[in-house]
Structure 1
Amino acid sequence: MLTLETKTVSLPRLNGLSPTLESTMLKIMEEVGELAQVIGKFRGLSGERAVLEEAQIARAIVSELLDVAQTATSMMFVIEDMYGIDMEDEVYKHVDKLRRKGYLA
């Protein structure tokens, strides 16, 4: 029998911001670029090698990845507010899609 382990990350709605779809997309691109930069340094892709310990590099990657996730979550809030999309319903549809593709049991 296959047991499915789930983990939940809950990211807060940021207060005091009025992001647009465009500004949020630009921010996602910026954060993805920073993630790529950290990974590139770790792998020596930019001609330089990070002189950090592996655990420090992993934490830097996670930090940048969480910035990407937070910004993507912010975009979901923007879409929800602007267009009245039920994001919880969309998440369930997405999980169903993952099941149909065989990524989830």
Structure 2
Amino acid sequence: MERKTISLPRLGRLTPTLESTMLKITEEVGELAQAIGKFRGLSGEQDRKPDEEVVRAIVSELLDVAQTATSMMFVIEDLYGIDMEAEMDKHIEKLKQKGYL
């Protein structure tokens, strides 16, 4: 199986807190759920968009969720001195032990 890695940048010109970042994650997850609802026809629209257009909207919202979660990791790293690299190594080891990798 080919292993892919997604890397997202640290955003500049922001001063996020743990709380503001969590609120942003919640907002982005809501937008992702809304996009998925449109894909499944759960939003009550009479006029449906082509599947490809809706899937691209889902991907866009999913990337917003991932970016915001990445930002939260940087916030935790900065505020609490957590070694995120070491934590990611532990996470990968956990995935291996569970047979996901």
Q: TM-score, normalised to structure 1's length? A: 0.90
Is 1:39 the counterpart of 2:31 in the alignment?
A: no
Match of 1:92 among 89, 94, 97: 89
Q: Name structure 2 gaps, 5 residues minimum.
A: none
Residue 16 (structure 1) shift? 0.8
What is the aligned length? 101
Match of 2:63 among 66, 77, 96: 66
Residue 24 (structure 1) shift? 0.2
Match of 1:80 among 63, 77, 80: 77
Task: Name the counterpart of 1:6.
Answer: 3
Spell out structure 1 runs of 4+ moving beyond 4 A: none
Is 1:25 the counterpart of 2:34 in the alignment?
A: no
**Percent identity at matched positions?**
74
Quote the RMSD (CA, aligned, Å). 1.2
1:43 partner amino acid: R
Q: Name structure 1 gaps, 5 residues minimum.
A: none
CA contact (8 A) 2:29 2:65 kept: yes
1:61 partner amino acid: I
Q: TM-score, normalised to structure 2's length? A: 0.94
Residue 50 (structure 1) shift? 5.8
